[in-house]
Structure 1
């Protein structure tokens, strides 16, 4: 048994297919994807943590056509292994550790409240509005703009760049979309080089200034590494938050009892955030490449071969999650793998949690009567799972 990642029926609800696969075995070869896929929580966790499975970057081909995209990824924290990863993670974590999440928390909550107020006004005027366009998409862009010190007037550039670049992570991408991703990578890198130069001369309280300044003895980030880090933060931070908010609010409005439960008890907000990340994972697949022979749940992976953790499948494993197909915002513990595991655990996870929490807090406070206003349109992609739009009303 396998699955077609382009099948609209599968994309609409992949979880029954994952359950059927998991009932057969924990790991399966997927010839169409050209790799093995882990579908249990234990096997997916092993894929993410096993040190004989690494993030080994292979340039997108033809190399000459993807010079900017490849440059960003060759210098990325996400696409490196020790000792390079250890060095980059130490420097980036030191810059992030200068209180940026807590510094931004009041601003994130104010931004979310303002966007929800705009959503309410549009619903009042038109009867319905697209929650993705008004809240879920602009919130992380504004937050990342604040984090990086991008002037507010220029933040409109960020979302189109992110949307274009992340298409490269899908399988069988159309040539025009691949070319658009390369253009976006070049434009974003050029923009960031200008921003870095400005912050070298005029440091502020933003993350770019801290990335410029951070030192470990005589070691520091190169300009290419700094630019790659900023691009990674945009793409990972934007896509994850947009889709947790979009998928999550859709789930809450579908399982109305959980929305009502959150309204009645705002103290459930932290566990609700974790459950929304688990229930409909924004990132469905994360690849690793074997550097030595390794066996995952009885499945042997030879050096050079790829294996992926199917995070959405892991999140519905009944061996770990009681009644896994039920949305339960009181679920605890909730050991989902939505932010990864092992050395590549998401460095921006605390900020992502703040953003999702702020969006839910503002929505429940301002629009307690929120309802769906028609069937949402799902994006036709598998790896990054999200909605094109989420119409809502009251």
Structure 2
């Protein structure tokens, strides 16, 4: 069974298709995508950990039309393999290790509480409101902006940049969207070069200041690497968190017993966060390229062959998860692959968990009677899975 990543019926619920594919074989060739796709948990884990299948960046062509977009990825931690990846991760992890997650934890909880308060006010005024617009979308943008030290007056520019750039990861992207993505990438590059220069002369407590200052002997991040790191943090941090919160709250409200369970026992927040990442994965596909002859679950790959881990399919594998189609906020253990695996495991995972937990805690504490007000609208993309709107009420 093939699937069309543009089919609205498939996008509404891809998991039954993944179940059929997984029952047939752990890896399939997908003609439309032009690559192999791994659908079992074991095969996806192997894709992510196989050192003979790496992240091999290919410039978006024509390269002269996508200078900024390509620059971001040429210098990204995510798009490089050892030895450069090892060096980048060492420098970036050292900067993160200066306590940024713990520094932001109380601020994130306060921010989430404030955003949920604004959602409650909007519901009181109008009868219903969009949870994405009031909570899920602004929360990660504000957190990443605070992490990077972006001045308050400039923060409203971050989300449009991220939204435009990530569309480049979809398949069969319309030409106008690609032009918009490059324009956003160039504006973001220019802005971050300016911000980094500001932090050289006036350092603060933010991550940009630490990235600028981080040294390992005589080594440090280049200007392009610093820009690539900051953009990766925004795009990965924003897109993942907004969609975990959106997809996750939708799952809770449509599985009412689990919402009530969390309202009654907020101590389940840590396992709830992991379960919501698993249940409706915000990132459905992660691509790798064979750098030498290798196999994944018996599927042969020659150098240059591409293979993708379908993370949403891995998350519903019954060999790993009991009753995988059931939402269980107390599920443990929970071996989801939502933050990746191996050397490309998400460096921002601890901060993402803090954000998601803060949003859920504020919602169940302040709005325990929350429910859907109307049918949500889903984004028409496959790779980045999320909602456009999530109308809610307390009536």
TM-score relative to the length of structure 2: 0.99
The match for 1:230 is 230
* Corresponding residue number in structure 2 for 1:183: 183
Report SS of the residue matched to 1:286. Answer: strand
* Residue 96 of structure 2: aligned partner: 96
What is the rounded CA distance, in whole Å, between the counterparts of 1:126 and 1:62 in structure 2?
48
- Is residue 2:85 matched to residue 1:85? yes
1:8 matches 2:2: no
Q: What is the match of residue 142 of structure 1?
A: 142
In 2: Cα distance, 1:166 partner to 1:219 partner: 30
Please say if 1:306 is aligned against 2:306: yes
Show the 5 A alignment for 1:322-361: 322-361=322-361
Looking at structure 1, the residues matched to 220 and 7 of structure 2 have their Cα atoms a distance apart, in angstroms, of 46
> Does residue 1:160 correspond to 2:179, yes or no?
no
Secondary structure in 2 matching 1:78: helix
After superposition, give the CA deviation of every residue in 1:193-218 in whole Å (9 maximum; x if it has no partner): 00000000000000000000001100
- Residue deviations 1:164-207 (CA, integer Å, cap 9, x gap): 00000000000000000000000001000000000000000000
Instruction: Find the counterpart in structure 1 of residue 47 from structure 2.
Output: 47
Q: Post-superposition shift, 1:152?
A: 1.1
3-state DSSP of counterpart to 1:162: helix
Q: Partners in 2 of 1:333 and 1:275 — Cα distance? A: 10
Shift of 1:39: 0.2
Partner of 1:249 in structure 2? 249
Partner Cα separation in structure 1 for residue 76 and residue 207 of structure 2:
16
Question: For the residues of structure 2 that align with 1:346 and 1:201, how far apart are their CA atoms?
Answer: 30
Kindly state the Cα deviation for residue 153 of structure 1 after the two structures are TM-superposed: 1.4
Q: Distance in 1 between matches of 2:160 and 2:233?
A: 15
Aligned structure 1 segments of 4 or more residues deviating by more than 3 angstroms: none
Hey, what does 1:174 align to over in structure 2?
174
Q: Counterpart of 2:36?
A: 36
CA distance in 1, matches of 2:79, 2:295: 22
Q: Which residue of 2 aligns with 1:66?
A: 66
User: What is the CA deviation profile of residues 223-245 of structure 1, one whole-angstrom value per residue up to 9, with x for unaligned ones?
Assistant: 00000000000000000000000
Distance 2:237 2:30 in 1: 29
CA-to-aligned-CA distance 1:252-303 (integer Å, 9 cap, x gap): 0000000000011111000000000000000000000000111111111111
Q: Distance in 1 between matches of 2:163 and 2:87?
A: 29
Q: Does 1:205 align with 2:205?
A: yes
Please give the alpha-carbon distance, in whole angstroms, between the structure 1 residues aligned to 2:60 and 2:66: 6
TM-score, normalisation: structure 1: 1.00
Name the structure 2 match of 1:271: 271
